[in-house]
């Protein structure tokens, strides 16, 4: 049955967006390099007073993209377009990985797995169809497909998940602290 609430399967399909993004970004770079007469970049090019969706041709492109988002949600599940096709998503995925590599503090999810009752509400309410319950149990909340919408935070009845603006090291220390508390509980 076709439904907006269907979970997107993810997995290897998530790589499709990189096969779209790579030739797209390479062609932009190649055009830029080959046009050695480029003297300036006009970020308002082809806009009407700075508004990009102001001409009939721009409307049609806009509606094609919106139509694709809607159709893919019906066919592939919640946010299938974001998972499989979105050519902007790789920028976010690469940015997240690079930030982690350079140890920059950023917005993250932290979880206290000892409080979790495995009710599964976080999985049900995750707009990106992620297995949040499993991430909590593994004390590893990093997932490049997570858009940090906070849906799992709002819908967890036990307050297991929270936001943190911190580095990866702080996040890891947080999960270790919880694990050591867990061990202490059994030793006492």
Region near ligand SF4 per CB under 6 A, out of 15-23, 55-63, 64-72, 140-148: 140-148
**Interface pick for ligand SF4 out of 138, 150, 169, 179 (rule CB under 6 A):** 150
Q: Are 105 and 165 in contact (CB under 8 A)?
A: yes
**Interface pick for ligand SF4 out of 38, 48, 60, 117 (rule CB under 6 A):** 117
3-class SS of residue 163: strand
120: which 2 tokens? 């599964």
Region near ligand SF4 per CB under 6 A, out of 12-20, 32-40, 64-72, 149-157: 149-157
Distance CA 123, CA 105 (A): 26
Distance CA 87, CA 65 (A): 12
**Interface pick for ligand SF4 out of 82, 89, 122, 171 (rule CB under 6 A):** 122
3-class SS of residue 166: strand
Distance CA 86, CA 90 (A): 8
Find the shortest distance in angstroms from Cβ 143 to ligand SF4. Answer: 7
158 sits near ligand SF4 (criterion: CB under 6 A): yes
Region near ligand SF4 per CB under 6 A, out of 4-12, 38-46, 48-56, 157-165: 157-165
Using alpha carbons, select from 8, 9, 178 the residue that is nearest to residue 79: 8
128 sits near ligand SF4 (criterion: CB under 6 A): yes
Using alpha carbons, select from 82, 67, 79, 96 the residue that is nearest to residue 16: 82
For ligand SF4, the closer of residues 89 and 130 by Cβ is: 130
Write out the residues near ligand SF4 by the rule CB under 6 A.
109, 116-122, 126-128, 130, 132-133, 136, 146-152, 156, 158, 160-161
């Amino acid at each position: 049955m076709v439904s907006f609430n269907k979970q997107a399967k993810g997995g290897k399909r998530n790589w499709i967006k990189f096969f779209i993004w790579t030739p797209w970004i390479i062609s932009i770079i190649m055009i830029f390099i080959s046009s050695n007469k480029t003297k300036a970049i006009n970020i308002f090019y082809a806009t009407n007073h700075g508004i990009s969706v102001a001409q009939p041709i721009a409307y049609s492109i806009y509606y094609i993209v919106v139509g694709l988002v809607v159709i893919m949600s019906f066919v592939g599940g919640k946010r299938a377009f974001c998972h499989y096709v979105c050519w902007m998503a790789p920028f976010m995925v690469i940015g997240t990985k690079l930030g982690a590599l350079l140890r920059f503090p950023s917005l993250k999810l932290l979880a206290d797995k000892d409080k979790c009752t495995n009710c599964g509400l976080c999985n049900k309410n995750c707009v990106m169809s992620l297995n949040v319950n499993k991430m909590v149990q593994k004390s590893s909340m990093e997932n490049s497909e997570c858009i940090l919408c906070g849906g799992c935070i709002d819908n967890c009845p036990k307050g297991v998940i929270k936001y943190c603006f911190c580095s990866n090291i702080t996040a890891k220390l947080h999960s270790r602290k919880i694990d050591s508390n867990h061990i202490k509980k059994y030793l006492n």
